[in-house]
Copies of this chain bind each other. A is one copy, B any other.
Amino acid sequence: MKFCSQCGSSAVTLSIPKGDDRPRHLCGSCGTIYYINPRVIVGVLPYVGDKVMLCKRAIQPRLGLWTLPAGFMENGESSEEGALRESWEEARASIRVDDLYSVYDIPHINQVYMLYRGELTDMNFGPGPESLEVELFREEEIPWKEIAFPIMQRTLEHYFEDTRLGLYQLHRGVINRKL
């Protein structure tokens, strides 16, 4: 941040506001304080029978790798609405949501993932503009070496484990930077 978006001044510094305990972007001219907070990524683990749906990414990062449909939650929507919107945008998938399934924090990139579990209501899916392919996979067919993000791999592992147990429950945790 180089200029104040309220007054246009270039007197923006990174410093600790009075009464605060961490640095923020502060405008020395008009006094505006800018708070930057984590963002929420919402998505779905879509399933039908013994298969789950994955999308091959048409965009960076991780272009060409497989992921569950997910993206940034938008203002004005609930997390479930956002998850269904992303499933439509990326996979043209229509889904009946069962429940919230996976909540993971990724502190080093300031993200919180909220993934729902949901059943496909029809088979008229296909790639949206951000996907190269959309396919259904049985557990033994999953391209485990080509999964785009650790959060997606963990959620898929939980899903197949829970399927064996016959009990789906919320999974949560923290994914830290690889050391």
Whether A3 and B10, one on each chain, are in contact in the complex, defined by CB atoms closer than 8 angstroms, is no
One complex includes copies of this chain to the number of 2
For chain A, which range describes its interface: under 10, 10 to 19, 20 to 34, or 35 or more residues?
A: 35 or more
Whether B74 and A22, one on each chain, are in contact in the complex, defined by CB atoms closer than 8 angstroms, is yes
State the main secondary structure of chain A at its contact with B.
Answer: loop
Chain B residues whose CB sits within 8 angstroms of the CB of A40 once the complex forms: 37-38, 40, 112
Is A72's CB within 8 Å of the partner chain B? yes
Q: What are 23 inter-chain pairs, A to B, with CB distance below 8 A?
A: A1-B6, A2-B5, A2-B7, A3-B3, A3-B4, A4-B5, A8-B8, A8-B10, A22-B74, A37-B72, A37-B73, A37-B75, A38-B74, A40-B40, A75-B107, A76-B107, A78-B105, A78-B107, A79-B112, A80-B174, A100-B172, A103-B103, A112-B114
